[in-house]
Amino acid sequence: MPRTRRTEARSQGRQPSTPAPTTGERPNPGYYATHALDRAFKANLARFTAGITPAGLASVYFEWLAHLMLSPGKQMELGEKFLRKTTRFAQYAGRAARDPQCPTCIEPLSQDRRFSDEAWQRWPYNLIHQSFLLTQQWWHNATTDVDGLSPERERVVNFIARQMLDRYSPSNSPWLNPEITATTLATGGRNLYDGWQNFLEDWERAMAGRPPVGVEGFRVGENLGVTPGKVVYRNRLIELIQYEPATKQVYAEPVLIMPAWIMKYYILDLAPDKSLVEYLVNQGHTVFMISWRNPGSEERDLGMEEYRRLGPMAALDAVCAITGRDKVHGVGYCLGGTLLSIVAAAMARDDDQRLASVTTFATQVDFTEAGELTLFIGESQVAYLENMMWDQGYLDGYQMAGAFQILRSNDLIWSRIVHDYLLGRRRPMNELMAWNADLTRMPFRMHSEYLRKLFLNNDLASGRYQVDNRPVAVQDIRAPIFAVGTTADHVAPWKSAYKIHLLTDADEVTFLLTNGGHNAGIVSEPGHPRRRFKVRTQRAREPFIDPDSWEQSTPEQEGSWWPTWQRWLVERSSGLVDPPGMGNRTYPPIADAPGSYVLEP
């Protein structure tokens, strides 16, 4: 395949911003003091705004309003839509008064389950929720297709409007939600009392920095992350876990898994029968796992290069030395997959051929279409986050969790308020929820470099990202690639992950799309109900298939995708051998899995 393939698609990244010119004069004596005051003020403000800059949101809102005021045609269109929706609603109200079973005038989106209860179809709740949905639709029209507003700014203002509407949805109101009203009457208000107690308990735990209710029943090393293994290597950033073999013989090439440092590794070793590690070991693979340290203020100056060098590169040296093999299957999840792509590109550039294959889970390499997460990533937002991280030396897990919750506010915020506080019912804790509550941090320097080099400048996809002071290109990767995307991913949208087809000249790229979200779609063990996926391999010199055509033409399969990927690994392995020892003289076992880093708060 020619190396110039799809270069046009790779050249779409933004150019790095140039520094502002200076006058050559020495700064005023008060310059540093005033800038320190600005940073301190914004750092403290960020704690009350979940790390989201008010200035950035305000600028987007006023830009939208200005363009709308300069668009009389759009205003006329919105006025016409308002009249038509009002007429449609009045007609529906008349029909519903005669026939409560008549068709509604608007249906909620498929993922909107707020009004699924049958009680919403009875008067007056049918009129209440239909009016809200029509209003929601009108605001969508008002914040899209405004002449002069860029697509990026349009997405932000549309997102803000959705958040405001979700906040004031009738489903969140105890006197407008029929489920809450019926429960209150049936229990004599006991649900509100129980909900108040739930709120107080959650508030107390949050203020004390304690985990949510129910997490106490899940402990790493007891019922989470329990696949037997040994820590065989440790440095200031990682522990490397080698898992004990479960078969008499194993496939020759070991598997090295690099989870994201934004998460604790044991999501891939969640619990017995829900563990990807356990599944691979039982199928005859030698598995190694990187367990990242949870950084504090003292690690504030660790950057992307330290994460590459002390993480996968150090782990790769250890894996090859312990197993005696010169080929390893590399696996990366989320940010770990992005780092694996950087590592694989640098290794290809330097003719380091130790990667037998590259597998990425829910991973982006090109960040130009990174979904709703990009709503929080602009120059204003990054500078605001840098002020907050500069003050404390890291980005706190609670601040990251707040941003992710806002992306799915209906599912993660408002539905919880309704269920736990207004209906007074605790949702039972499960393994994935317990893992999600085990928060992590990211060092100031690393996260700043990640946001600027990858999100803002898109350096990796554009061939500008540097390793050892030389640029690397994903195009250089020749090892077979297996990329997994998930249909409901708000962090790494599958169409963004699919762009790996445009960025590499590997001999083959296998892309698998599974249902579920960023986490639940990956933790998809055999036997998991309602799981399905699509998979297809594109080989060298075959024409590119756009993601929509790929989705329509690729047949769907039922069940977990794990066996499909495992067979793919087997086909790219060189046969069965005796299992390697647990560590060796150079890398002796240090401790039992799960190690100590994963237990650090």
Q: How far apart are CA 233 and CA 240, in angstroms?
A: 5
Q: How far apart are CA 51 and CA 41, in angstroms?
A: 13
Q: How far apart are CA 594 and CA 201, in angstroms?
A: 30
Superfamily in which the 229-397+440-599 domain is placed by CATH: Alpha/Beta hydrolase fold, catalytic domain (3.40.50.1820)
The residues carrying an active-site annotation are: 334
Domain residue ranges of the chain, discontinuous segments joined by +: 66-187, 188-210+398-438, 229-397+440-599
Which string of DSSP letters, residue by residue, matches 254-318?
-EEEE--TTS-GGGGB-STTSBHHHHHHHTT--EEEEEE----GGGTT--HHHHHIIIIIHHHHH
Cis peptide preceding 124, ω within 30 of 0? yes
The one-letter amino acid at 321: A
Structure-token match 């009680």, residue found: 119
Residues 6+ apart with CB under 8 A from 99: none
Work out the end-to-end distance of the chain between its first and last CA atoms, rounded to an integer number of angstroms.
48
Give the pLDDT of residue 111: 77
Nearest to 298 by CA among 236, 387, 209, 388: 236
Q: Is 574 exposed, middle or buried (0-12, 13-18, 19+ CB in 10 A)?
A: exposed
pTM attached to this predicted model:
0.86
Residues 6+ apart with CB under 8 A from 594: 220, 221, 225, 229, 241, 265, 266, 269, 291
Nearest to 500 by CA among 6, 16, 151, 152: 6
Tokens of 162: 């959705």
Residue pair 306/438 in contact (Cβ under 8 Å)? The answer is: no
62: helix, strand or coil: helix
Q: How far apart are CA 456 and CA 368, in angstroms?
A: 9
Give the pLDDT of residue 413: 78
The one-letter amino acid at 444: F
Running along the chain, 601 residues long, what does each successive block of 10 average in pLDDT?
A: 38 38 52 63 61 71 91 95 95 90 87 88 93 95 91 84 89 93 94 95 87 92 96 97 97 97 94 96 98 91 95 98 97 96 97 97 90 65 66 68 61 82 91 90 89 89 94 95 94 93 92 94 93 94 93 96 98 96 96 96 83
Give the pLDDT of residue 335: 93
Residues 6+ apart with CB under 8 A from 273: 525, 527
Residue pair 286/245 in contact (Cβ under 8 Å)? The answer is: yes
Q: How far apart are CA 74 and CA 66, in angstroms?
A: 12
DSSP-derived pairing of the beta strands 466-467 and 470-471: antiparallel
